[in-house]
């Protein structure tokens, strides 16, 4: 049975919105896009590369899937992630996509997302990675489907933006299983979800 492994970059105040680019996610008037870019270093790339190497499939919400497709699909700049992203099975949870996803190896999940992900966990033998996709992550966590978080905790406070864990979320407990500090002050912490 597969595990759902959520990989997120967050600030000290829990913001996950608009990590990579100024225009990545401006919902709610968010003006701090691209906050994570200055913190990228070789230690972070190594940890992320190991995580992607152990991934059997990926699971995205619609917004994150469309952004990843726009940024990563078919790149020829020699980065280490395009080939993995292109060739890995990608599942997309969406209530609004009418067309099948156009990125190769992509499957649109239909019906109830919680039931669909429960079935995926039973079918798969390797980890299923969730990247970004905050709304989807919150749904999966409340349904008890997330097994591990890999959080890249950045040493800054933005004061506004969409957070990974909202104020109205449920109580959840975690156990630290690994941590790696980077040269830029990011701490990559892996937490297993504690089951009561």
- pLDDT tens column, 22-69: 999 999 999 999 999 999 998 888 888 888 778 889 999 999 999 999
pTM: 0.93
Percentage of the chain beyond pLDDT 90 is 69
Which residues fall within 8 angstroms of residue 35, CB to CB, at 6 or more apart? Answer: 11, 15, 18, 19, 154, 156, 158
CATH number at 4-193: 3.40.430.10
Determine the average pLDDT of the residues in 124-144: 93
Q: Which of 52, 82, 55, 59 minimizes the C-alpha distance to 70?
A: 82
CA-CA distance, 82 to 74, in Å (whole number)?
A: 7
Other C-beta atoms closer than 10 Å to the C-beta of 23 total: 9
Q: Where are the beta strands (DSSP E) in the chain?
A: 4-11, 55-61, 89-93, 106-109, 127-131, 148-154, 174-181, 187-193
* Domain residue ranges of the chain, discontinuous segments joined by +: 4-193
């Amino acid at each position: 049975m597969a595990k759902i492994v959520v990989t997120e970059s967050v600030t000290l105040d829990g913001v996950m919105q608009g990590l990579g680019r100024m225009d990545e996610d401006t919902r709610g008037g968010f003006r701090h896009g691209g906050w994570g870019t200055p913190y990228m270093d070789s230690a972070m790339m190594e940890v992320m590369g190991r995580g992607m190497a152990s991934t059997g499939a990926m699971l995205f919400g619609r917004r994150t899937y469309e952004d990843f497709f726009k940024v990563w699909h078919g790149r020829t700049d020699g980065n280490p992630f395009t080939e993995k992203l292109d060739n890995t099975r990608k599942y997309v949870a969406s209530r609004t996509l009418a067309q099948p996803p156009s990125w190769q190896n992509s499957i649109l999940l239909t019906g109830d997302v919680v039931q669909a992900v429960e079935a995926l966990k039973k079918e798969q033998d390797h980890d299923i990675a969730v990247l970004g996709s905050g709304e989807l992550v919150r749904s999966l966590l409340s349904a008890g489907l997330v097994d591990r978080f890999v959080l890249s905790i950045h040493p800054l406070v933005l004061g506004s933006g969409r957070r990974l864990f909202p104020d109205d979320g449920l109580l959840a407990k975690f156990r630290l299983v690994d941590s790696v500090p980077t040269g830029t002050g990011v701490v990559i912490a892996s937490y297993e979800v504690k089951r009561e």
